[in-house]
Structure 1
Amino acid sequence: MTAAAIPRLRGDSTIGFLADGYAFGARRFERLGSDAFRARLGGMPATLVRGVDGARFFAEGERFTRVGALPPSVLHSLQDVGSVQQLSGAAHHARKGLFLDVLDEPGRARLVEALREDWGAALPTWQASDTVQLHRAVAGVLTRAVCRWADLPLNQRTARARTIEFLAMLDGAGGFGPRNWWGRWRRRRTERWARGLIRDGRRRGAHGVVARLLDHRDADGSGLSDEVAAIELINLLRPTVAAGRFVVFAALALHRHPEWAERFRAGEERHLRGFVQEVRRTAPFFPLVAGRAVRELEWRGERFAPGEMVALDIFATHRDPAVWSDPLAFRPERHEAGGPAARGADALIAQGAGDYATGHRCPGEPLTIELLEETVRLLTRRMTYDVPPQDLGVDLRRFPTLPRSGFVMSRVRIT
């Protein structure tokens, strides 16, 4: 491409972003006929990119850091100061290695088993209820499962409190004003609980995930303070509960495509991974991932100054017709060998792009996929249910979004 190939939007696009929500970038990429454009969002200049090429530019070569890329309202709701996403270089690699070690294959298998057990324990209550809202119900199951997996003490009261707090953090991260303040206030309650677990582990001897956090050494050889260890403990627990949003979208896909529900109910496993990946592609989760250039960069004939903001548009990449044929159609079989996945992992970037260890991809992605596969099995083989009339519309102007009803089930029966 020639110099100045990236178009620039006039004025400030904040109102347009709020009006279009997830679709903000996708509509402008198509209108401009470009996979990148420059804009001002919240008064700050940013370049939005989509597609495999944009994902590789953003995620490879350690060109961008997440430090300073998140608005304070999002940072304090989700990651907080001192967390892994607020590190760069060797410090980021060492801390991320902790997450990869904790979420290794045996660790993931134990958590999937905990999910299976806690889902089974919840089924009698669901069966006895007139209706069950899946979003809240699965959040409770995942909270109990991940805390049990981490070997953390939890009773009925504290399980309910942690579930409410994790949901508030996630919901508040995409909002402003009271919704965000509520999420941040709830997060402070969770942090006090987590710090208590860390301090008790130091005094009395730790086990489980707390022991892993206390044994960890950063790149400079130092251990984690109580505050940072508590933050990273939450950053292991909260994303597991966040995966419940994908579970709701998986249930919605089973409802809208009953032929797939029948196939999985009959025991088919061949297309299960493809179904889960198609749910992750089509479900609006986080709209984009942003970073700041760590040095002067050049891409497509244009220069990016150190500190300049670039955002990889996840929603638009998953609807890029250059990557996905008929991108608005739900087709699990497209993820078989030879499909878009053959272009590499950066075609599907629901949880970030690049390498797990060095890029901007969530180390919990394999766990999310395995949890979703198990929940599809549970929804189709361990239970039956009706889907009563309700508003299953998805508001693309709300971050993060869900079907408006949260997916209500009735007449749940154990099979």
Structure 2
Amino acid sequence: MPRDPRLDSSLALLADPYRYIGKQCRAFGTDLFEARLLLQPAICMTGPAAAALFYDPQRFVRAGAAPGPLRATLFGNGGVQGLDGADHHHRKALFMALMQPATVAELGQRYQEQLERSAAGWIGQRRVRLYEALHLPLARAVCAWADVPWPEAEEAGRCADLVALFDQAAAPGRGHFFHARAARKRCEAWAGRLVEAVRQGRQPVRAGSALAAVAMHRDAGGQRLPVPVAAVELLNLLRPTVAVSVYVVFVAHALHRHPECALALQQRSNGDYAECFVHEVRRCYPFFPAVVARVREDFEWNGYAFPAGRRVLLDLYGTNLDPRTWHDPLSFQPERFRERTPGRFDFVPQGGGDPHLGHRCPGEAIALELMQRSARFFATRLRYAVPEQDLTLDMTRAPALPRDRMVIAQAMPALP
């Protein structure tokens, strides 16, 4: 197997998290190579065939795969991301039950109301940094949807903590250790108090709400989840929804770079164009760099040995741009999603495979709903200017963002 000759490639990966694996694979002329990451050997892979392999539960497990810093900030300990087999399937059902079309549409409607409320406050402001401006409407919407109490006096601090869980999870130095880890501790304590209050009858909840479902969920053995684990799972609903702010910034960025898309969205007869547009945003723009697993048992694939316990990284961003799957992959063409339905392993912005059975993100339907509503809102409900700024995507950070966080100006309601 080709090998990155560096003594340790961790810094190279951190310096270019979205393109490191793809660049090395192109240099080697293969879909995979070995590297040392965090002083341990690892296998890095890209492409649809590698994705199909990676999502084979007979070959890979997630337990202990995510690096400690990510478990301490982004995921938390004991959550669904680190489970396998029957335990994972049972826990995943908790999330998938909350992803019914009507439930997702309810969250979308709550978000749209909060977005319109926030946008009313943008009118008259000289400049609005869109990334920061989106956090609060998303947090308000998902907490109302989940039945999570959200006192106005606490919302700024709570929102900042939810953002830190994903925005600072991969940050170097103080950003990670002093912001993301501290935010994780505060968020889990808050979520744990809510779970306990529901179980003790001190916190009324709507039947079927996310808070009620998580608090009362029982594992495969019939036991309620330990409070710390239930807190982690509640945050696994709140945090990713606020993280859709990254995707909504990409929606606005794409509308600015491709104004013909805004015109297409304004045509009510254009059917499924909004869905095609947000799929292309998810394909072209960098959200998750990679996902991680460990080899379950020794096996061989295409002549390459995969030793048991070896950590394996699958390149999501590069797989979405693989020229063997996508014609002219670097061009932005929403119409390509009308021409064919992509497979579960060649379009993997939020993981691959079947979300009910595997480790594909259960909240993908939520991301699609919120992105489509955002695309229609920015194309049809709001007029604004995009002043001179640095719109280059900073690919050295995760999540990647425009360097000036997508600033808009002169916001006003669109004419009927």
Question: What is the TM-score when the length of structure 1 is the normalising length?
Answer: 0.94
Code of the aligned partner of 1:365: E
Secondary structure in 2 matching 1:141: helix
Q: 1:300 aligns with which of 296, 299, 302?
A: 302
Note the alpha carbon deviations across 1:276-328, whole angstroms, 9 max, x for none: 01100111112100100122222112232221111110111122111112111
Which residue of structure 1 aligns with residue 83 of structure 2?
87
Distance, in Å, in 2 between the alignment partners of 1:9 and 1:152 is 47
Secondary structure in 2 matching 1:138: helix
Q: 2:2 aligns with which of 4, 7, 11?
A: 7
- Deviation of residue 145 (structure 1)? 0.3
In structure 1, stretches of 5+ residues that fail to align are 1-5
Mapped contact 1:73–1:176 kept (Cα < 8 A):
no
Which residue of structure 2 aligns with residue 175 of structure 1?
171
Note the alpha carbon deviations across 1:171-197, whole angstroms, 9 max, x for none: 221123201011110121222221121
Mapped contact 2:290–2:317 kept (Cα < 8 A):
yes
Code of the aligned partner of 1:9: D
Moved over 6 A (4+): none
C-alpha change, 1:37 and 1:99, in structure 2 (3 Å) is same
2:373 is equivalent to residue 378 of structure 1: no
Which residue of structure 2 aligns with residue 227 of structure 1?
228
Which residue of structure 1 aligns with residue 193 of structure 2?
196
Name whichever of 149-158 and 277-286 sits farther off.
149-158
Name whichever of 211-220 and 177-186 sits farther off.
211-220
Secondary structure in 2 matching 1:384: strand
| Correspondences of 1:318-357 after superposition (within 5 Å) | 318-338=320-340, 341-342=341-342, 344-357=343-356
Distance, in Å, in 2 between the alignment partners of 1:284 and 1:316 is 9
2:161 is equivalent to residue 152 of structure 1: no
Which residue of structure 2 aligns with residue 414 of structure 1?
413
1 or 2, which has the higher helix percentage? Answer: 1
Which residue of structure 1 aligns with residue 116 of structure 2?
120
Which residue of structure 2 aligns with residue 216 of structure 1?
217
Mapped contact 2:65–2:82 kept (Cα < 8 A):
no
| Correspondences of 1:16-415 after superposition (within 5 Å) | 16-181=12-177, 182-204=179-201, 206-207=204-205, 208-267=209-268, 268-338=270-340, 341-342=341-342, 344-415=343-414
Distance, in Å, in 2 between the alignment partners of 1:200 and 1:252 is 42
Note the alpha carbon deviations across 1:147-186, whole angstroms, 9 max, x for none: 0001122132322222211111112211232010111101
- Deviation of residue 229 (structure 1)? 1.1
Secondary structure in 2 matching 1:67: coil
Name whichever of 155-164 and 227-236 sits farther off.
155-164
Distance, in Å, in 2 between the alignment partners of 1:224 and 1:31 is 47
- Deviation of residue 252 (structure 1)? 0.3
Distance, in Å, in 2 between the alignment partners of 1:128 and 1:221 is 55
- Deviation of residue 389 (structure 1)? 0.8
Which residue of structure 2 aligns with residue 3 of structure 1?
none
Mapped contact 2:76–2:184 kept (Cα < 8 A):
no
Name whichever of 13-22 and 166-175 sits farther off.
13-22
Mapped contact 2:123–2:412 kept (Cα < 8 A):
yes
C-alpha change, 1:162 and 1:386, in structure 2 (3 Å) is same
The percentage of aligned residue pairs carrying the same residue is: 39
CA RMSD of aligned residues (A): 1.5
Code of the aligned partner of 2:345: D
Distance, in Å, in 2 between the alignment partners of 1:394 and 1:212 is 38
Name whichever of 22-31 and 57-66 sits farther off.
57-66
Mapped contact 2:111–2:141 kept (Cα < 8 A):
yes
Code of the aligned partner of 2:326: W
